[in-house]
Structure 1
């Protein structure tokens, strides 16, 4: 990554996933944010039950009910992301493109005006619930392998643990995998002597972005048929196909299949650069997507919330 001195191109808002944590967590990264997130939290509480403990200290404790714990983590990320993006809009920071990583897609779709805040939250609830229903009866998870390419990992999977799938290529040698937990641990064991520098399980119990959840798509489509979906008002770049979503049908396809289809975040960032984006704003209490941007070749600037005070240009 090369950070240019002047950014004269387009601005992209990036929306992180629920499991991406922010170091030294707090909700004071931007003046006025506490008021903004308070308004969104009140709206969310009219739609779903918010566990205030999870909202105040996300990730610090686990609820006894696995599904409820997962739902609350998703709610927190969605509310924070929507509130941050809204605050940037009020500050007249323009947005030419949005891209949502994994479940961050729903906040991205809301900011693009394809979904209302309330409908996006209900859709998120339905997707998460459908994912857990599809995974009933198995012991699943996700993990990250650092130091090997996707091709090298694919070869190890084919030889040792074919039930595992590559869920995302975050960077050339940062790969997310999904599948049965025992098979993931087997992959980690065989990856180390092949050059893996680090591998670990992620704090999820559902195999997101794998064909194990494909059966949930039909339920999600039925739910979406009842939800008002509008054409996006800014470019929505798919993390699955890297296409720019422009129509209602394209939004429905993305929202229906995002749960089980593999992601390609590194390619998504490259696509945004090709579209002329040279300023990236991470809209969520996370710096994970900014950190991943370091592996992307190009001239651009990337900001997470603690750096938003440096935003002096790129206004509407």
Structure 2
């Protein structure tokens, strides 16, 4: 029997005024849910930026993460109200945190509180590093090149068969972009990010996040989560917390994640959140999977 999965996007799909747009599109009951979320966030500035902030402000991890997650959480809530339930969930990086609500691990308010806190912690992390997307080489080739470079540079996001993101020390990364091209990469693109996310350099940040986890009420998983770092199916609250800790300085195995969903009978995936980035990646991993984008309220009405 064919199965359904929900997947949730990571950072990079934010846009100015996105909070206001969502708020104006939803019904009165959902507006109350959004109001309650904002009333529970410690940082009152988040609402202002999500509703009125500029593109530049939204690039800040502190605001980008709760902005994207708000869409994922609210649109998931509305999808479920339409009777659409997933058999599995997964998220790309930040998206793994958005999946906590869909999987029944945290309430919508606690999911948003944790993500806002994560964005704040990551934006304040003093880790000198960066990231770059390597296009046109296999993941194995990228790993091999990284292993022969002096300094910290690691394959961290396995996005599609011929696109792998590397992260590491800024000076090392900048000095070696041409190395990837010399070895056959079609492109080696620096990413506009504030740190070397998912690399071993983020271990100190993971320790801070781990302490933050103690402030939330975790439930065992109702809908299995496919873990970013291992593609294991997570079903216990402790497994989820352990994955989120390791994900901070561990890889996002997106190719393996989609293959895992397919192996478990998933034939339809809803990408829940702004943008269509994951849909593009999924089509390059497994063309047989149907992908439906739920990026706004209008998308829901078209189901």
Give the TM-score of the pair, scaled to structure 2: 0.87
Closer, same or farther in 2 for the Cα pair 1:217/1:28, shift >3 Å? Answer: closer
Offset at residue 215 of structure 1 (A):
2.1
Corresponding residue for residue 239 of structure 1: 228
Partner of residue 176 from structure 2, selected from 181, 187, 210: 187
Closer, same or farther in 2 for the Cα pair 1:178/1:112, shift >3 Å? Answer: same
Corresponding residue for residue 60 of structure 1: 55
Corresponding residue for residue 72 of structure 2: 81
Match runs of 1:215-234 below 5 Å: 215-234=204-223
Offset at residue 182 of structure 1 (A):
2.6
Counterpart Cα distance in 2 of 1:76 and 1:26: 7
Partner of residue 4 from structure 2, selected from 11, 14, 23: 11
The total of aligned residue pairs comes to: 298
Closer, same or farther in 2 for the Cα pair 1:192/1:282, shift >3 Å? Answer: same
Q: Give the conservation status (yes or no) of the 8 Å contact 1:36–1:87.
A: no
Gaps of 5+ in 2: none
Closer, same or farther in 2 for the Cα pair 1:57/1:28, shift >3 Å? Answer: closer
Q: Give the conservation status (yes or no) of the 8 Å contact 2:62–2:122.
A: no
Q: Give the conservation status (yes or no) of the 8 Å contact 1:21–1:288.
A: no
Q: In the alignment, does 2:132 pair up with 1:143?
A: yes
Match runs of 1:117-136 below 5 Å: 117-133=108-124, 135-136=125-126
Closer, same or farther in 2 for the Cα pair 1:17/1:190, shift >3 Å? Answer: same
Offset at residue 143 of structure 1 (A):
1.7
Closer, same or farther in 2 for the Cα pair 1:112/1:144, shift >3 Å? Answer: same
Corresponding residue for residue 166 of structure 1: 155
Offset at residue 162 of structure 1 (A):
3.3
Q: In the alignment, does 2:195 pair up with 1:206?
A: yes
Q: Give the conservation status (yes or no) of the 8 Å contact 1:15–1:105.
A: yes
SS of corresponding position for 1:304:
strand
SS of corresponding position for 2:148:
helix
Closer, same or farther in 2 for the Cα pair 1:142/1:255, shift >3 Å? Answer: same
Corresponding residue for residue 36 of structure 2: 43
Give the TM-score of the pair, scaled to structure 1: 0.84
Residues 53-62 or 246-255, more deviating:
53-62
Task: Name the structure where helix makes up a greater proportion of residues.
Answer: 2
Counterpart Cα distance in 2 of 1:33 and 1:231: 30
**Which whole-Å deviations, capped at 9, do the CAs of 1:54-96 have from their partners, x for residues lacking one?**
4247772237xx9xx3111111011111011111111111211
RMSD: 2.9
Match runs of 1:265-284 below 5 Å: 265-284=254-273
Counterpart Cα distance in 1 of 2:109 and 2:21: 24
Counterpart Cα distance in 1 of 2:95 and 2:53: 16
**Which structure has more RCO (C-alpha within 8 Å, separation ≥ 6)?**
1
